[in-house]
Structure 1
Amino acid sequence: MGIWFSFANVILIGLGLCALVVADKGTATFYTPPYVPSSCDGFKNEGTMIAAASDEIWDSKRACGRVYKVKCTGGTNNGVEHPCRGSGSVTVKIVDYCPAGCRGTIDLSQEAFEAIADPDEGKITIDYHQV
């Protein structure tokens, strides 16, 4: 019994040390400069690795300042054979609101979108999670 008890403890400790990241699925589009003013920060320049949140993640403005890792998983319009680029993921900060009618779950800055996908695709499927 002693060896099984020790083995079980090792497994439980190992599982406790592993962080399980569950990604949500959605779509991403992009918007172009100028990026100010924004709904979160007014005229504060937050750089280019930024995004606007759709109603799905806006959370009554509580999304402001949240950081998301976004990974390209494919295209939506079959316009580009292989739309995902590089590592296919980017980390962005929510600085704006993508109003009703927003075409994606998250609207990336042009620079963030281009880091993970061919802009000719226009809209991509993504996995995303808050960091």
Structure 2
Amino acid sequence: MTGSFVVSALILAFLFQVALAETGTATFYTPPYVPSSCYEFEDKGVMIAAASDALWGNRAACGRRYRVTCTGATNQVAWACTGGSVDVTVVDYCPQGCAGTIDLSQEAFAVIANPDAGKVKITYTEI
């Protein structure tokens, strides 16, 4: 009885997390990653992102962490997604006219999608 309760609780937690995921698009940018809008010349590694106006909130996005998952191609690249997810920290601003909801570092984008896709559909959740 206790084991089935734990399994049920885990399933509900997973479904709740999926229900909270937002949808959008991701693109990528290439080094150098410093200076950044949030941290100037402080190096925050490569699992980073730049937030579009949809997430930026006048710098409120700085330091937020997101789990990003590719859900499909936005073009004819049928093999766009890798099937993985990546956790990133917002360190920069993707200026007005940004092509994606979130602009991932080249390294972070490569975890979730083939860079040849350029832009992919995603789900993302703040973690």
Q: Sort the TM-score into its range (normalised by shorter chain).
A: 0.7 to 0.9
How far off its partner does 1:88 sit? 2.1
Q: How does 1:4-43 map to 2 (within 5 A)?
A: 14=9, 18=13, 20-21=16-17, 22-43=20-41
Instruction: Give the aligned length.
Output: 117
How far, CA to CA, are the matches of 2:13 and 2:112 in structure 1? Answer: 27
Per-residue displacement from partner, 1:9-28 (whole Å, max 9, x unpaired)? x8xxx59x837221000000
Which of residues 51, 54, 59 in structure 2 aligns to 1:53?
51
RMSD: 1.8
How far, CA to CA, are the matches of 2:35 and 2:74 in structure 1? Answer: 29
State the TM-score, normalizing by the size of structure 1: 0.84
Aligned counterpart, 1:83 = 80
- The letter of the residue matching 1:44 is E
Larger Rg: 1
Which of residues 67, 70, 77 in structure 1 aligns to 2:68?
70
Which of residues 105, 109, 117 in structure 1 aligns to 2:113?
117
Where 1:113 maps in the other structure, the secondary structure is helix
| Stretches of 4+ aligned residues off by more than 6 angstroms | none
Unaligned runs of 5+ in 2: none
State the TM-score, normalizing by the size of structure 2: 0.87
